[in-house]
Amino acid sequence: MTRRRTGLIALTISSALALGACAGPAYSPEAALRLQDRVAAVSTAAASADWSTTEVELLELESETSTALARGEITEERAEAVRSAIALIRSDVAAAIEAERLAAEQAAAEEAARLAAEQAEAERLAAEQRVAEEAAEEAAKAAEKAAEEAEREAERERREQERGREDDD
């Protein structure tokens, strides 16, 4: 989640709830303070992208709104404005959570792809190493065979030279 999106959610909370819940003469000062405290708590939680706390604070705000309405401290119109703002915020929070989930999935997929590429490279290097070792082994066998052949050839030449000396004698 980007800081911009988190900031937008916090701004939405502040403006929608603070103005919708507490503005105007249709509420008591005590209710206004309680609702403003709840709005501040929701804003703080959302600003830090603490979505579970944001949801708890929204539930508290919802409860406080219902209580204020039941006591006659706010009008039905104010209570409905708060509920609408809460619904909007929940929608934004759900979108933020989904965006974070998708980002985490993408990061995991990228990490898996990176690890798979590293594994493939390691396997390629191991295969090249095996080929090189086999080639070196073949070269060593060929060199040994050539040395044996050279030794036999040298032995033949030595025998021929000995025969030639014997024939000269």
- Sole residue written with tokens 């998708």: 102
Residue 28: per-residue pLDDT? 83
Average of per-residue pLDDT values in the chain? 86
Q: Quick check: 111 pLDDT over 50? A: yes
* Residue 145 maps to a domain: no
Residue 74 bridge partners (DSSP): 27
Q: Nearest-5° angle of CA 138, CA 132, CA 114?
A: 155
- Domain CATH code at residue 48: 1.20.1440
* Residue 128 maps to a domain: no
* Residue 63 maps to a domain: yes
* Residue 142 maps to a domain: no
Q: Quick check: 24 pLDDT over 70? A: no
User: What amino acid occupies position 49?
Assistant: A
Residue numbers of the domain that contains 41: 3-110
* Residue 166 maps to a domain: no
Radius of gyration of the chain (CA): 42
Indicate the pLDDT class of residue 14, thresholds 50, 70 and 90: low
pTM exceeding the 0.85 threshold for the entire prediction: no
* Residue 50 maps to a domain: yes
For the chain, how far is it from start to end, CA to CA, in angstroms?
103
* Residue 8 maps to a domain: yes
Q: Quick check: 19 pLDDT over 90? A: no
* Residue 120 maps to a domain: no
Q: Quick check: 136 pLDDT over 80? A: yes
Residue 27 bridge partners (DSSP): 74
Distances (CA, A) of 29 to 17, 25, 45: 16, 9, 24
Domain count, the chain: 1
